[in-house]
Structure 1
């Protein structure tokens, strides 16, 4: 009999995981400031006698070496940071940090991975290989995953594959959503500073109206999306912030546009960037102004590797049953910096459903976002089952 069928979840640990989740939820911290979160994770691991190390100031890494010797390697990743949102969930363990909230379920991701760590450590003498468990800071801010990879989180020894999950309020509670290929989009941000020439509104011909140029840029960006890009390739170009002008009777001499661009493939991403900069600069010049474009290459898209996905789906089905395993019909144009992991090694990112039909369901990043803690052991079982199956496959 294989280890994949021998092990069992120790439900005695559930209440401890719920307590940790509530502690994290009450004390959420923004990206790269997760000092108390980091301390809570390390303290919990120490209680269980599990060694860990700090990486990139607030990240925590746990290496679990199988007692049967060297073998395959796998990384399990959870994000730990919160959002700048004022909580309105009304739960008794609501955030005590004004203006900061775990509105994306990262407190759940963290405790799910803690549960997996506990069980993989408990059963370490029964498998060979390495499971590296990564508690990653700064997912809500670009670059944290990249920094950890650059710091060596996927090396010494080389990690062969990586897996992450995200709680998902659009799937029934306890179900899993999987998809081969694109799962989330890349996310690049831009800031356009348009410079014109100020003047009086009564004599517009003596000025260069930066607001008029900005309006033409916004209109043309939709032309770029619809007419200058492949219509069968998803692409989002969004201007979310405009700043310019001082008075109703003054021709504005400067306007700033801030926004984001989302795509699912590197080909579309690279092509769009080139056309975007050329188009914006050309429009400003055509109208007698100038545009400085700041283009920030952010998170890459997450693309699921077929082999890793197959093993994950097989493992999840053991835990929740085949009927509770769903194929996601389309990718999300949201982003996750797990894309850096997926670029570096074969990876899979899956959705864990938290929607309960009898209760109100709020989307991610909503001030009333909430999930039932009973999802934590389910996620922990899937992580654990997958890691054991992956390591065992190498034998």
Structure 2
């Protein structure tokens, strides 16, 4: 059975109807968070139909992790369930990843297959799953000729910033041991079929601090009898914003935002509590390490200086890193599928992608594939729509990249 780029593209095009059906079904049943029962059941059923053995990856979440996510505004999540599948045998092993969770956004599109449950696949993860299922069919048909192993992972919780971390902690990269990893993400504002990748740091880290400040409330006419959590919150707000301008290298891209600042019920009441959410994104690893050390110090000192107390919940998602050597190996395969003129190096994105937990452990490459055109609604928008012509292209890209990389290692 042929394995040239043209033959893989031809087979992916033959599978267009099934890949599209997979995407549209998943689009109608979006689920958010770490445990996605309807989505996972559908993926398992499709893998069974293709004769591909699968395993669940993940498990129960520690109670603290569950509580931390509730504090961050997510629904209560008690377990994380991903799915892995293996095609081929022996070493080396390349991992292909598709995230599968949706967003708490109500879709506002006129589609026959639009979501009606109040959530939406407005980041395109439904297409990622469909493309990987298409690649799975192509790879399974060529399993006997694979010069190693392809490991597929369907990952929950990317939008939480920690889904990949939970799976890695639960053995994602073992049995078989993964030697390289490849992932792609659709872009609705980029022309369909264009691929962009960054070498080195590929996406920003995200560090989140949720601070609940505890004071002692009372009447506004007697502030001396109170500990004002709103004043403490205001001082922390100013201090952390100044920190980014005075202790981070100006050459480092740092975006610090306090997206939540709340407390109080009336003008004449000093409240008992206030809450501040601080988010820091940066493409500079050194800046991230410094700021994530200093922000908790500032919080602690300001709260204690004004005799308050606090609870703090912290989330960390690292930069995604595309290995230079792996990029040199994989880019020619992408050019064969998409055309050399459609593959280019781009600056890293300032958004965050939890594929970084995988690229911390093994050489990886992450790329963005166009699924629309400039002027379209962007990702995370209720009007976001994808060009489904990207689906067979993405399936072919996954399959051909895996086959060719294994051949290259031999």
- Tell me the TM-score normalised to structure 1 length: 0.92
Partner of residue 91 from structure 1, selected from 103, 111, 117: 111
The answer to whether the aligner puts 1:308 opposite 2:326 as a matched pair is yes
CA RMSD of aligned residues (A): 2.0
**Structure 1 position 45, deviation (Å):** 2.1
5+ residue gaps in structure 1? none
Deviations 1:210-267 (A, max 9, x none): 2222222112211100111111112222111122112111223321112322223443
User: What does residue range 273-284 of structure 1 map to in structure 2 within 5 Å?
Assistant: 273-284=292-303
The answer to whether the aligner puts 1:166 opposite 2:181 as a matched pair is no
User: What does residue range 380-391 of structure 1 map to in structure 2 within 5 Å?
Assistant: 380-391=395-406
Deviations 1:135-182 (A, max 9, x none): 111212243212222222211221101111111134222100011011
SS at match of 1:140: helix
Distance 2:191 2:324 in 1: 24
SS at match of 2:160: coil
- Tell me the TM-score normalised to structure 2 length: 0.89
Q: Which residue of 2 aligns with 1:64?
A: 87
The answer to whether the aligner puts 1:38 opposite 2:40 as a matched pair is yes
> How many positions carry a matched residue from both structures?
387
Distance 1:143 1:278 in 2: 24
**Structure 1 position 20, deviation (Å):** 1.0
5+ residue gaps in structure 2? 60-80
Do the aligned residues in 1 keep the contact of 2:227 with 2:307 (CA within 8 Å)?
yes
The structure-2 alpha-carbon separation of the partners of 1:356 and 1:199, relative to structure 1 and needing over 3 Å to count, comes to same
Q: Which stretch shifts more, 301-310 or 56-65?
A: 56-65
Deviations 1:23-75 (A, max 9, x none): 00011111223111111112222222322222226322111115xxx342100
User: What does residue range 47-196 of structure 1 map to in structure 2 within 5 Å?
Assistant: 47-56=49-58, 58-65=81-88, 70-97=90-117, 99-196=118-215
Distance 1:373 1:170 in 2: 14
Distance 1:391 1:22 in 2: 31
SS at match of 2:52: coil
Q: Which stretch shifts more, 204-213 or 103-112?
A: 204-213
Partner of residue 214 from structure 1, selected from 229, 233, 236: 233
The answer to whether the aligner puts 1:298 opposite 2:313 as a matched pair is no
**Structure 1 position 5, deviation (Å):** 4.9
Do the aligned residues in 2 keep the contact of 1:319 with 1:382 (CA within 8 Å)?
yes
Q: Which residue of 1 aligns with 2:390?
A: 375
Do the aligned residues in 2 keep the contact of 1:163 with 1:349 (CA within 8 Å)?
yes
Distance 2:302 2:40 in 1: 48
Q: Which residue of 2 aligns with 1:351?
A: 368
Distance 1:202 1:32 in 2: 48
